[in-house]
Amino acid sequence: MTQLSTFHVGSYLFGVEVALVQEVVRMQKFTPVPLASAEVSGLINLRGEVLTAIDVRARLGLPPTTGERAQVNVVVRVDDEPVSLLVDEIGGVVEVSQIPFEGTPSTVNARVGSLLLGAYTLPDKLLLALDARALLAFDEGRSAAA
Amino acid sequence: MRALVIDDSRAMRSILTRQLQDLDFDVAQAFDGRDALDLLDTGYMPDVALVDWNMPRMDGLTFIKAVRTRDAMKDVSLMMVTTESEHGNIVRALAAGAHEYVIKPFTSEVIAEKLALLGLVRV
Amino acid sequence: MEAIDEIVAEFLVESHENLDQLDTDLLALEQDPTSRDLLGSVFRTIHTIKGTSGFLAFNKLEKLTHVGENLLSRMRDGKILLNEDRTSALLAMVDAVRGLLSHIEASGLEGDDDHTELVARLGQLLEDGAIEAPPLIPAQGSSPEAATGATEAVTGAGDSTEEVVHAAAQAAAAQAIEAAHELAEAAKGHPEEIPAGAQVVSAEVSITNVPEPPAAAAPPPPPAPTPPPPAEKPAEKPAAKAAPEPGEAGETKRSVVESSVRVDIGLLDTLMSMVGELVLSRNALVSELDEQNDSALARSAQRLSLITSELQEQVMKTRMQPVDTVWSKLPRVVRDLSHQLSRNVRLEMEGRDTELDRSVLEAIKDPMTHLVRNAIDHGIETPEVRIGKGKNPEGVLMLRAYHEAGLVHLEIIDDGAGIDHNIVGNKAVERGLVTQAQLEKMTSREITQMIFLPGFSTAAKVTNVSGRGVGMDVVKTRIEAIGGSVDVVSNLGAGSTFRLSIPLTLAIIPALTIGCYGHRYAVPQVSVLELVRLSGEHARGGIEHISGAPVYRLRGSLLPLVQLDEQLELVSIGTSSGGGRNDDGRGGFIVVLQAEQHRFGLVVDDVLDTQEIVVKPLGRHLKALPMYQGATIHGDGSVVLILDATAIARRADVLSNQAAAASSSVMEETTPIDPVLVVELSGGRRTAIPLDMVTRLEEIPNETIERVGGREVVQYRGHIMPLVRLANLLGAYGEETDNARVQLVVYTRGERSVGFAVERIMDIATERAGSRSDIDDHALLGSIVVGDRVVELLDVQAAVLAADPAFYQDDAGATTVQQLGDLYEEAL
């Protein structure tokens, strides 16, 4: 019974294992972190905890949002640390056990592809399964700025 | 009948309160002499106050002396609660104006008897 | 019986609290045996437990505490003094009481432990010397007859209240007389005992009406000569203090009981998560409202916002406790262990009120205890050994706690034998933890660190003292489990320092909030030395540039400046222009910060407020950014980054790299590194002047320099200031450039100034540590390395004297025109 929590980024539909998703939060003010790498959009306050918000578009190498679209935070918990993923919009929870699974399609760019576990072919579109751990694996232990 | 239990030990206050409630008293509590004085100054007049000897800030003896100087409180009976080893204290308490004393630990019968001596309980 | 169980529960909880306080009080009392406050407090605790246990039919408890109470009563009345034996016995009683309480907690009954020996021992200690007083007799004079007589009188009086009272009065009178006489005797023999005795007199004197005994009880016994006050054994360090001062009241912590409330921990956690939900809703509400334009609604939302944040903060603070919560148990441990091992140890504590999150405190409890035990067992030597080494027989064990650089540091420092890394190394090889070859390549520090490896123990046998399933490796594991680190530095023969460094998961520090280009940042108050306001036109004037680097003259010394917006590469929020600050006449503030041994000024736009903030750690993606120590949640719910002063200074290169490297190892000896002003003399020769000897930099037209009596002077700020051309002084002969303007480095002391004329002012730099070497040359202190060049260091004093020999003389005032005039005339 595999379920994926889905969300939209650009024209893509991504999904991560439901178990990893702690919650979804909208409308969060965030504090920019100067000198942090481009993937970090800032810090948010979630019930008193300070979470890093990752700009998924930047992480995936996609162009930044155009216009004033409010973004949604998908809070995931990987390796016991909650991190917020900034996405365009959330989709629903999709039950994928009955859905055909394939390897990474060639239609996605290399950067995106490297972060995928594979893809599910839904009736109307492709659901790309993200490797959450890989998604978050950047910049750790390195000084972002000299 | 109203009573005031003054002792810095919560457990002790609970024990004494229980005993007094069993004798149909309404019971108020105070942490030490200072606390008790503050309460009395608000106009709360118990019929009897059970006063422990050793308390922080203001001890039993000082409290008794203080009450005895206040005309408004002349109808409050003061019962010292003390232990066997404090003979000297008993004397001092009585000299300072305590009406009665009771040595702990005491049973309900003993306290009832003492209170009867003060005319507060019908035996 | 439900009701009784509830009361028993209350009794248990209350007694446990009181017993903890009792331990502390007893140990404090050992140091101050006649403290009325402490004696009173200790007495009251035992008294309370005794009284209540009687009601609850805990006979063993009652009996045990009764004897203890008697002992304390005598001490409180000044009849006997607290000494080591008595302290030990009382502590044993406390432990026994704890044991009984545990039994009661588990089964409702007192259990089978036998305390007759302890009771007997306590009874024996009621008297000094060999006289064995029967344990149950309350405070009496030293003559057994009076004791027996009074007791009989009391007990024999039967149920008659009156008789009991009179007998009691009798006994009291007897006591009073006895006490008075004892006092007199004591006073004759040992004048310093008087203060303690004097209290007894005043207490006894308060008996007003002593009713006449109706029956003839034994008349007051004739005053018996008192045995001399307890002979003090030389080994007893606390009792050995002469002339205890009566006025010194020991601070009892009892009043804390009244102002605090007991709350179930689960409830606190629930409260916290509810507040969290509230904050989230608040955030959402505020965002929604931002989009609408209802100002009244907005105001209400704002208010709600503030209240929610405050609530959040306060609830989180409930989790914080001072480290003393853990430390307060340690004096007892130290005392017991010292006695057991015949060591003489003085425990000192610094930073007891440093606050830590509850869960962190829980985690460090065992490690701290183990390290303390270890310090006494393996660290501090016996007094004989110490004397043999020329050390003070009393060893010192110091506990320190402080916040620094985003961490809480707990240090356990002993002045004992230190750790011999050779022994450690050999042991490690022996245990197969490392090969001989590997060992050879390790530094002594690395070798010493091996004591934290599992499977390691330098003790020939695991002493049961340091045992208990906690070893050094467990200490390390436990600390690392909460994200901290353990370190040890040791000096063979001199002692060791163990340091636990734990991240501030929920630490509260006072901080300054500053604004820069519309963004807010927090700066820990501990780094802030002062604030300087730059306003309007003065702003520009105050800031100077030396080789392009901005500095500010602050009361006579030059402060290197760092622009925060540049360092963080900030862009203004809301202004159309992207980068580039407009610094013409712009106001702002300089926050003078301390970074390691240096000061520098951080230029910001606004200083907003100072308040206590809760430090939150940054996630793993941002942890590596050195200029942030963490983040906090501001009153309005927004996240504010906390800046790390040292990292910013380093990034701005205000500290030279060498200096930073030299001081990075905190526990090593740091040598002070002075910033210097580097100037160029003619001929390309460079000289360094210690920056704190530089008051001002001036540029003056050549024409203003006048020659008087073989000297050059210039009129400067109402005085005549003598000049010295450093090139001439130091014998630098090169092409004298014909500048219309002359660069001066001015040194002012009080009313007097001297100007050093140089060719060019180059830079402010930092001398590389340890680079100074001597040059035997006039007016030079030596040569130092600055950057990658060797530069001479000016002997400022010599240079000053060359300009004005009278400079350092007491008569104030610079060389007057009159004096120079005289010189001039002489020269003619």
By the 10 Å C-beta count (0-12 exposed, 13-18 middle, 19+ buried), C188 is classed as exposed
**Can you tell me the distance from the alpha carbon of C199 to that of B31, in angstroms, rounded to the nearest whole number?**
26
Question: For helices B10-22 and B108-117, what crossing angle results, to 10°?
Answer: 70
Q: What count of CB pairs under 8 Å joins B to C?
A: 92
Q: How confident is the model at residue C251 (pLDDT cuts 50, 70, 90)?
A: very low
Determine the structural domain holding residue A94 and report its residue range.
Answer: 3-136
- Domain encompassing residue B78: 2-117
CA–CA distance, C376 with A57 (Å, rounded to integer)? 59
**Cα separation of C664 and C405, whole Å?**
12
pLDDT of res. C177: 47
- What residues does C671 pair with on adjacent strands? none
The position carrying tokens 């990893």 is A20
In angstroms, what CA-CA distances link B110 with B20, B47, B52, B100, B113? 12, 18, 17, 12, 5
**Structure tokens, C706:** 């006048």
A 10 A CB-CB count for B70 gives 12
Structure confidence at residue A70 as a pLDDT band (50, 70, 90): low
Residue at B80 is within a domain: yes
Asked, for residue A75, whether it belongs to a domain, the answer is yes
pLDDT given for residue C213 in this prediction: 37
Which chains lie within 8 Å of chain A at 3 or more CB pairs, if any? C
Which of C115, C124, C114 minimizes the C-alpha distance to C83? C124
Please name the amino acid found at residue C393: P
Nearest to C639 by CA among A86, A31, A75: A31
Token pair listed for C521: 């940042």
Domain CATH for B101? 3.40.50.2300
Collapsing DSSP to helix, strand or coil, B10 comes out as helix
Out of B64-78, C121-135, C527-541, C566-580, which region has the weakest mean confidence (pLDDT)?
A: C566-580
User: Residue C509 pLDDT > 80, yes or no?
Assistant: no
Question: Under DSSP, is residue C287 helix (H, G, I), strand (E, B) or coil?
Answer: helix
Residue B75 corresponds to which tokens in the numbers above?
Answer: 């109808």
Count of CB atoms within 10 A of residue C218's CB? 14
List, as one string, the DSSP characters of chain A: --EEEEEEETTEEEEEEGGGEEEEEES---B--TTS-TTEEEEEEETTEEEEEEEHHHHTTPPPPPS----EEEEEEETTEEEEEEESEEEEEEE-TTS-EES--TTS-HHHHTTEEEEEE-SSSEEEEE-HHHHH-SSTTS-S--
Residue A27: list chain C partners with CB under 8 A: 283-284, 287-288
Do residues A138 and A39 make contact, with C-beta atoms less than 8 angstroms apart?
Answer: yes
| C228 SS3 class | coil
Domain limits at C644? 507-573+583-655
pTM: 0.41
Q: What is the CATH number of the domain that holds C765?
A: 2.40.50.180
Total of domains in chain A: 1
User: Could you tell me which chain B residue has the CA closest to the CA of C72?
Assistant: B85
> Would residue A103 count as lying in a domain?
yes
Give the angle C362-C368-C369 at the CA atoms, nearest 5°. Answer: 100
User: Does residue B11 belong to any structural domain of this protein?
Assistant: yes
| Burial of residue C205 (number of CB atoms within 10 Å: 0-12, 13-18, 19+) | exposed
Q: Evaluate the CA torsion angle C181, C186, C187, C188 in order and state its sign.
A: positive
Of C272, C570, C625, the CB nearest to A144: C625
In this structure, is residue C256 part of a structural domain?
A: no
C822 or C530, greater pLDDT: C530
Residue B54 identity: N
Strands C588-595, C598-604: pairing is antiparallel
Number of Cβ pairs < 8 A linking chain A and chain C: 104
Q: Residue C143: which H helix or E strand, with range?
A: none
Rounded to the nearest angstrom, the minimum Cα separation between A109 and chain C is 24
User: CA of A64: how far to CAs of A58, A60, A138, C645, in Å?
Assistant: 7, 10, 19, 33
Distance CA C75, CA C668 (A): 49
Q: What's the CA gap between C611 and C510, in Å, rounded? A: 5
Alpha helices in C718-757 (DSSP H): 726-729
Type of residue numbered C338? S
CB B25 within 8 A of CB B1: yes
Q: C641 and A33: CB-CB below 8 Å?
A: yes
Domain membership flag for residue C250: no
Q: Are residues C810 and C686 in the same domain?
A: yes
- CA dihedral sign of residues C715, C718, C724, C725: negative
| Residue C662 covered by a domain | no
Spatial separation of the C-alpha atoms in residues B60 and C119, rounded to whole Å: 29
Please check whether residue B122 lies inside any domain of the structure. Answer: no
DSSP state of B42: T
Nearest CB neighbour to B85, from listed C55, C69, C258: C69
In a domain, C665, yes or no: no
Residues C332 and C27: beta-carbon distance below 8 Å? yes
Q: Which amino acid is at B62?
A: T
Report the C-alpha gap between C652 and C660 in whole angstroms: 12
Q: Do A28 and C637 lie within an 8 Å CB cutoff?
A: no
A63 belongs to a structural domain: yes
pLDDT band at C748 (very low <50, low <70, confident <90, very high): confident
Whole-angstrom Cα distance, residue C74 to residue C58?
Answer: 24
Residues C527 and C445 in one domain: no
Report the 10 Å Cβ neighbour count for A18. Answer: 15
Total Cβ atoms within 10 A of residue C624: 16
User: Which residue in this structure is represented by tokens 């202004």?
Assistant: C575
- Of the pLDDT bands very low, low, confident and very high (cuts 50, 70, 90), residue C109 is confident
pLDDT tens digits along A10-41: 888 999 999 999 888 876 778 999 999 888 99
Q: What are the Cα distances from residue C108, in Å, to C5, C9, C16, C820?
A: 9, 10, 16, 99
Cis-peptide into C228, omega within 30 deg: no
Nearest CA in chain B to C204: B88
**If contacts are CB pairs under 8 Å, which of residues 167-186 in chain C contact chain B?**
167-169, 171-172, 175
Look at residue A142 and tell me whether its pLDDT is greater than 80: no
Give the C window 29-68 contacts with B, CB below 8 Å. 40-41, 43-44, 47-48, 50-52, 54-56, 62, 66
Mean pLDDT calculated for residue range C728-736: 69
Two tokens, residue C102: 């545990």
State the Cα–Cα distance between residues C464 and C453, nearest whole angstrom: 20
Determine, yes or no, domain membership for C212.
yes
Residue type, C716: Y
Query: For residue C194, what pLDDT band results from cuts at 50, 70 and 90?
Result: very low
Number of domains comprising chain C: 5
Closest by CA to C689, choosing from C743, C633, C625, is C743
User: What is the separation of C-alpha A114 from the centre of its chain, rounded to a whole number of angstroms?
Assistant: 14
Identify the CATH number of the domain in which residue A72 sits: 2.40.50.180
Same domain, C333 and C278: no
pLDDT digits (tens, 9 = 90+) for C404-460: 766 789 999 999 999 888 888 888 888 887 888 888 877 787 788 888 877 776 443
Residue A96's beta-bridge partner residues?
none
Q: Among all residues of chain A, which has the CA nearest to that of C625?
A: A143
Among C773, C784, C810, which Cα is nearest to C691's? C784
d(CA C468, CA C694): 61
Percent of chain C with pLDDT over 90: 9
Q: Is a pLDDT exceeding 90 seen at residue B40?
A: no
Would you say residue A142 lies in a domain? Answer: no
The answer to whether residue C566 scores a pLDDT higher than 80 is: yes
How does DSSP classify residue C224?
P
Q: What is the number of structural domains in chain B?
A: 1
Please list, in sequence order, all residues whose beta carbon lies within 8 angstroms of the beta carbon of residue C751, skipping any fewer than 6 positions away.
Answer: C719, C812, C813, C814
What's the mean per-residue pLDDT of chain C?
A: 71
Is B86 within 8 Å of chain C by CB? yes
Instruction: Say what the ipTM of the complex is.
Output: 0.90
- CA dist., res. C259 & res. C381, Å (int): 43
Is A143 inside a domain boundary?
no
